[in-house]
Amino acid sequence: MKEGIVIKSTGSHYKILSSEDSVYDCVIKGGFRVKGIRTTNPLAVGDKVIIDEKRMLIVSLMPRRNYIIRRSSNLSKESQIIAANIDQAVLMICISMPETPTEFIDRFLASAEAYRIPVTIVINKEDLLGEKDLLSAREIIDVYSKIGYKTLLVSVKNGKGLNEIKTLLEGKTTLIAGNSGVGKTSLLNGLNPELELRTDDISQYHEQGKHVTTFPEMHFMPFNARVIDTPGIRGFGVFDFDRKEIYHFFPEIFKVSDKCRFHNCLHISEPGCAVRTAVENGDIELWRFRSYISMMLEDNSKYR
List contacts with ligand GTP (CB under 6 A).
124-125, 127-128, 155-157, 178, 180-186, 199-202, 211-213, 231-232
d(CA 302, CA 20): 45
257 binds Mg ion (CB under 5 A): no
Give me the phi and psi of 13, to 5 degrees please: -110, 145
182 binds, among ligand GTP, Mg ion, Zn ion, none (CB under 5 to 8 A by kind): ligand GTP
213: three-class secondary structure by DSSP: coil
Task: Choose between 128 and 297: whose C-beta lies nearer to Mg ion.
Answer: 128
Cα distances (angstroms) measured from residue 28 to each of 17, 35, 54, 282, 299: 15, 15, 13, 52, 35
Nearest CA to 240 out of 76, 51, 111 is that of 111
273 binds Zn ion (CB under 5 A): yes
Residues in the interface with Zn ion (CB under 5 A) total: 5
273 binds, among ligand GTP, Zn ion, Mg ion, none (CB under 5 to 8 A by kind): Zn ion
Residue whose CB is nearest to ligand GTP in the complex, by number: 232
Please pick, from the candidates 71, 125, 219, 267, the single residue that binds Zn ion as defined by CB under 5 A.
267
CB of 49 to ligand GTP, least distance (A): 26
For helices 131-147 and 286-297, the axis angle rounded to 10 degrees is 70
Task: Choose between 77 and 210: whose C-beta lies nearer to Mg ion.
Answer: 210
d(CA 10, CA 266): 40
265 binds Zn ion (CB under 5 A): yes
185 binds Mg ion (CB under 5 A): yes
d(CA 243, CA 296): 6
CB neighbours (10 Å) of residue 254?
A: 15
Residues in the interface with Mg ion (CB under 5 A) total: 4
180 binds, among Mg ion, Zn ion, ligand GTP, none (CB under 5 to 8 A by kind): ligand GTP
What would the DSSP string read from start to end of 100-147?
--HHHHHHHHHHHHHTT--EEEEEE-GGG--HHHHHHHHHHHHHHHHH
34 binds, among Mg ion, Zn ion, ligand GTP, none (CB under 5 to 8 A by kind): none
Task: Choose between 48 and 184: whose C-beta lies nearer to ligand GTP.
Answer: 184
Q: Which residues pair with 43 in a beta bridge?
A: none
Task: Choose between 100 and 257: whose C-beta lies nearer to ligand GTP.
Answer: 100
253 binds Zn ion (CB under 5 A): no
d(CA 179, CA 124): 12
| Residues contributing to the site for Zn ion (CB under 5 A) | 260, 265, 267, 273, 275
| Residues contributing to the site for Mg ion (CB under 5 A) | 184-185, 212-213
